[in-house]
A and B are shown apart, each in its own frame.
Chain A
Amino acid sequence: MESFQTTDGHLLREHATIIRQLVLQSLTEAGSGHLGASLGLADVFTALYFSVLRHDPAKPQWPERDRLVLSIGHAAPVLYATLAHAGYFKTEELQSLRKLGSRLQGHPGRDHGLPGLELSAGSLGQGLSVAIGMALAARFDGLNHTVFVVMGDGELQEGSVWEAAMAASHHHLDNLVAIVDRNGVQIDGPTEKVMHLEPLADKWKSFGWNVAECDGHNREQLIETLKHRRNATQPLVVLAHTIMGKGIPAIEGDYRWHGKVPSREQLPGFLKDLRNMHKT
């Protein structure tokens, strides 16, 4: 348990680099998938699984664990890489991503029995609602764990997200934290070109949420924001400003890398980029 509550900056950086490496390797091996969001969320997942979440890989069903719901199912590789690196299963299994018979489905599927996976998801706009159900259940049971949900920014164009935003606020779910991967891009291009989202913080505020914005690659800032949110009576949304494809300069911020993976020839260069980022 102790190793999952770290604030040691060097250790966190180490974890983030390893998670990115695992993401790159597993997606290259898979030959298809979504690289951009997984690399962009690596620091968020590092902060969550190695500092913020109360969890125990040896007891994935521990009733008092914090829940992490991945609403953007296409970012499954970063969840899988993080779970494996945290010890829920062997990292070798990451090589089975997207293959026949694998527990690592292209979008998360609980029916395949992967430990640590809270929800089968992939159709956008549903995770926040499911998280509300989990948060309400915790309240019914008098348990004080927190339910975290990770959403994409493009996902916020789904109307059901705002049904959920209304409901979480109406029911004063102070045990609910939504994290938005605010990378500003989606498959067709910049979010503000495809469908305007700004002023995004104001939208959430007007729905009754507490809003925090932070650099989604600054792990210390993320941890601070996610941990010290007590005495609130409303749910919290964290707009985590990230760069899609973070760590690989050639693809950073390039929306064309939303649904692409590196070729075997590209992989060594990309891994070298990660080592360079790790040193700086």
Chain B
Amino acid sequence: MNPYTNKGNKATRTGFGEGLLAAGQLNDNVIAIGADITSSVGVDLFASAFPDRFISLGIAEQNCVAVAAGLALEGKIPVFSTYGVFAALRAADQIRVSVCYNNVHVIIGGAHAGVSVGPDGATHQALEDLSIMQALPNMTLLSPCDATETKNAALAAILQCRGPVYIRFGREPMPDFTDPNIPFKIGKASEMLKGDDLTLIATGHLVWEALLAAQILEKQGITARVLNMSTIKPIDREAVIRCAAETRAIITVEEHQINGGLGSAVAGVVVTECPVPMAFIGMKDQFGESGPPLELMKKFGMDAASIADTALHLFRKKMSD
């Protein structure tokens, strides 16, 4: 059974906003940059608490990112948040050169991750940000699983990290189930559920779906281990190798293109260190569309039932090999 209790659905973007506010209370150098949609990406809390440390730059993401680099070069801790599609893609060159090549501590919040953005449709559903951010030298890439963890991840990203950080979160209220007293450890995956037959390595709010999928599998007599990969880069190699060696089958679960996201990062470790059968849950080289979040997750094979189905196939393959 699922040992976690949903304390009530809450959007991870809200968690990000709380983390940013808390970081601002702890450190005067934290500065937030707004690109118009501040209330939608969790920056409004900070902006009303610290109006003097909020800089409005309008709908101009490229400028926002490079301004952040200038602030960071001077010792400030700039946090820039907007929709992931704009942050990671429109401003990719600025992130590459002004932020990553200069290796400055700029925190980029990528909101509206995945198809669960819902009715806004494909243009606003970030499904490529992990690929692009992962490819950049010096970048740390975080993808927490619920609002509570996102708050702690934001705190860690802002106050503990050095260098560039991209933190990804979603729009829709989703189950909030992790322990607020567990501090976020950058680069460390957490084992959410024990199991020996296969491992579901999930990221973002799909960790919850993976936990539900494990329940379905349990009824078929399969014990699935669930790993929350809340840091995509640097990936927790040790945890991946352990799961591969101990369960001999790995399914990655992400609300992102399967090209270049979590699945690719995990496969890179598995194939070089401990090759075992793998399967990939995620967007299969296509765009999303409008619709209710849960139905979209179902349509694109990211709900618990689809995950369990894929896992079952992989388990059978493993047993027949």
Binding site for B on A (CB under 8 A): 109-111, 118-123, 125-126, 129-138, 140-141, 159-160, 163-164, 166-167, 170-171
CA A110 to CA B98, docked complex, whole Å: 11
Q: Residues of B contacting A164 with CB < 8 Å?
A: 63, 66-67
Name the 5 nearest CB pairs between A and B, nearest first: A133-B70, A129-B66, A137-B74, A163-B60, A163-B63
Which secondary structure dominates where chain A touches chain B?
A: helix
B residues in contact with A136, CB < 8 Å: 55, 67, 70-71
User: What B residues does A170 contact at CB under 8 A?
Assistant: 58
Cα–Cα distance between A171 and B101 once the two chains are bound (Å):
27
What are 28 A-B pairs at a CB distance below 8 A?
A110-B101, A110-B103, A120-B98, A120-B102, A126-B69, A126-B93, A126-B94, A126-B98, A129-B62, A129-B65, A129-B67, A129-B98, A130-B67, A130-B69, A132-B66, A132-B67, A133-B70, A133-B73, A133-B76, A134-B71, A136-B70, A136-B71, A159-B62, A163-B57, A163-B60, A167-B57, A167-B60, A167-B63
- Contacts across chains A and B counted by CB atoms under 8 Å: 102
Q: By the criterion CB–CB under 8 Å, are A134 and B60 in contact?
A: no
Verify A121–B97 contact, CB threshold 8 A. yes
Contacting pair A137 B57 (CB below 8 A): no
Q: Which residues of A contact B58 (CB under 8 A)?
A: 163, 166-167, 170
Q: B167 within 8 Å of A by Cβ?
A: no
Interface residue? B72 (CB, 8 A)? yes
- Write the chain B residue with the least CB distance to A122: B97
In-complex Cβ contact of A133 among B68, B96, B97, B103 (8 A): B68
In whole angstroms, how far apart are the Cα atoms of A166 and B62 in the complex? 13
Residues of B within 8 A of A129 (CB): 62-63, 65-67, 69-70, 94, 98
Task: Tell me how far the C-beta of A240 lies from the nearest C-beta in chain B, rounded to whole angstroms.
Answer: 22
Name the B residues within 8 Å of A110 (CB-CB).
101-103
Of the candidates A123, A131, A163, the one having the most CB atoms from chain B within 10 angstroms of its own CB is A163
Among residues of A, the one whose C-beta sits closest to the C-beta of B106 is A133
